[in-house]
């Protein structure tokens, strides 16, 4: 579907051999550094004009639809996206329906509340490259991981993860391993990082093979219990922003009889995906980052249609087939599609916020969003190299656009205190241990001028030592 996607530079030689494709894309990765039609050399950003780049940005007009805190330079959209006028209007419309229709809103509202999860799934499906029937919006990310792992894990082998994953993924997987009577310390196979930033995809494939050595390897069941049964990886690492090649990992997993599942929390809404064509088995994600669905927004999940008919491990009445849901039969009849993974009654106000938030994303188009995201992040990386490297900063995010998501990790030994000094100056970033300031130029509302301001403030904080008056963080996050 995304044949023009940039190819990852896997060997670090600055070239791409195209032997492994990435399912993320929407930009050609060839950033025109000076705006004259040529890429130019590294460091030439001095001649670039942020104001001109902002005028040329095809998404510039969307900024006015978002509520940006007054005086702030907001660079934390990878943690919580901003409120759009569209989301606000959708919530207000549902409040009016609640007032005027009360319980009849389940059938008479527009759209009817009864099928809100499926409706939202239909709208999100193009963002992940899936069929509408394969996607539903429901529950929270952690609950969906519990449900999916519990459904697909047969209890016969190992689950392969990364040491750089977001913790909740491991919490849920360990719980499901215990539920299946397995020891997580034996059955959770962890791929280690060589640099504390990234995971080598070839190490992932090597781990599939090494964990399965000596196993008889029945397809998808881990054989005698020593092989890998499920690969569960993030699409983008939450700390460094490394983007994985989902197609490559899925193909490698399937060749070895392993199911492939992914956490798309840090890519949905900023990186195009093609889950159905790649044959991904299942995936989960949140909606409060690049989808701008609001704090604690409803999450989403994908299940490939070849797995329809499985009974979810966490069934609930909202996942019952709609036609007979109100027969109140005590035996669960799952919906014939991804809707089966809904558990409880959906929070309609939260659903409405996401419904509205999807409108500007649809209007902009995910390919254009990705293209602008690459441009903004490349601009940021260039500025960091030129103005902050001599002051102890390093870019911890892969430089190949095909290997990074939407945010940039700036590393410094005083990252925790620097992040708080920046916030005091109105630059909203966040900190992740041990040494990362995450900066996210979310493409629907961030300007190139904002990127300039972030680096200028960062430089001032370092030059003046403004961070030194802050005590080291004790809670680990800003």
Active site residues: 166, 263, 288-289, 438
Contact 300, 273 (CB under 8 A): no
Cα separation values, 7 from 22, 126, 255, 401, Å: 6, 22, 22, 9
Two tokens, residue 149: 């792992």
| CA 29 remoteness from chain centre | 20
DSSP 8-state class, residue 114: G
Q: What burial class does residue 172 get, using C-beta atoms within 10 Å of its C-beta: 0-12 exposed, 13-18 middle, 19+ buried?
A: buried
Two tokens, residue 330: 């005590």
Contact 450, 75 (CB under 8 A): yes
Pairing state of beta strands 188-191 and 408-411? unpaired
Give one DSSP letter per residue of 232-261, joined into a string. EEESB-TTT-BBP-HHHHHHHHHHTT-EEE
Cis peptide before 111 (omega within 30 of 0): yes
Contact 121, 132 (CB under 8 A): yes
Q: Which of 461, 415, 417 is nearest to 436 (CA)?
A: 415
* C-alpha–C-alpha distance, residues 473 and 225, integer Å: 43
Contact 168, 238 (CB under 8 A): no
The pair phi, psi for residue 259, each rounded to 5°, is: -75, 145
Cα separation values, 425 from 376, 387, 458, 461, 467, Å: 21, 19, 10, 9, 11
Cis peptide before 434 (omega within 30 of 0): yes
Contact 406, 373 (CB under 8 A): yes
79 bridge partner residues: none
* C-alpha–C-alpha distance, residues 478 and 463, integer Å: 22
């Amino acid at each position: 579907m995304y044949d023009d996607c940039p190819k990852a530079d896997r060997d670090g030689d600055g070239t791409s051999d195209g032997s492994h494709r990435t399912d993320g894309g929407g930009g050609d990765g060839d950033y025109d550094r000076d705006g004259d039609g040529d890429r130019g050399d590294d460091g030439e950003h001095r001649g670039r004009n942020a104001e001109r780049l902002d005028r040329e940005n095809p998404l510039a007009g969307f900024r006015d639809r978002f509520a940006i805190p007054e005086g702030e330079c907001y660079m934390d959209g990878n943690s919580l996206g901003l409120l759009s006028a569209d989301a606000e209007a959708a919530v207000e419309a549902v409040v009016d329906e609640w007032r005027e229709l009360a319980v009849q809103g389940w059938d008479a509202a527009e759209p009817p509340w009864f099928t809100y999860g499926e409706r939202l799934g239909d709208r999100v499906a193009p963002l992940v490259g899936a069929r509408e029937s394969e996607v539903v919006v429901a529950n929270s990310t952690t609950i969906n991981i519990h449900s999916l792992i519990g459904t697909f894990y047969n209890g016969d082998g190992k689950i392969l993860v990364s040491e750089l994953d977001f913790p909740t993924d491991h919490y849920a997987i360990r719980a499901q391993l215990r539920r299946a009577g397995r020891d997580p310390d034996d059955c959770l196979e962890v791929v280690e990082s060589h640099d504390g930033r990234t995971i080598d995809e070839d190490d992932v494939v090597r781990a599939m093979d090494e964990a399965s050595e000596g196993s008889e390897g029945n397809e998808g069941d881990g054989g005698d219990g020593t092989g890998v049964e499920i690969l569960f990886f993030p699409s983008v690492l939450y700390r460094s922003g490394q983007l994985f090649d989902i197609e490559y990992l899925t193909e490698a997993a399937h060749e070895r009889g392993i199911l492939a599942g992914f956490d798309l929390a840090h890519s949905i809404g900023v990186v195009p995906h093609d889950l159905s064509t790649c044959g991904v088995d299942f995936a989960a994600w949140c909606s409060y980052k690049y989808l701008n669905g609001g704090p604690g927004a409803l999450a989403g999940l994908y299940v490939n249609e070849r797995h329809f008919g499985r009974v979810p491990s966490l069934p609930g009445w909202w996942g019952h087939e709609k036609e007979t849901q109100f027969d109140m039969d005590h035996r669960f009849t799952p919906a014939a599609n991804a809707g089966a993974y809904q558990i409880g009654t959906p929070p309609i106000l939260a659903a409405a916020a996401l419904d509205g938030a999807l409108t500007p994303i649809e209007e902009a188009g995910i390919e254009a969003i990705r293209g602008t995201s690459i441009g903004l992040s490349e601009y940021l990386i260039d500025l960091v190299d030129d103005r902050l490297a001599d002051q102890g900063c390093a870019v911890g995010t892969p430089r190949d656009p095909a290997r990074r998501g939407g945010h940039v990790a700036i590393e410094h030994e005083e990252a925790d205190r620097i992040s708080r000094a920046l916030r005091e100056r109105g630059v909203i970033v966040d900190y992740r241990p041990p040494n990362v300031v995450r900066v996210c130029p979310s493409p629907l509302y961030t300007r190139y001028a904002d990127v300039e301001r972030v680096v200028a403030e960062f430089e001032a904080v370092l030059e003046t030592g403004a961070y030194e008056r802050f005590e080291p963080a004790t809670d680990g996050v800003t």
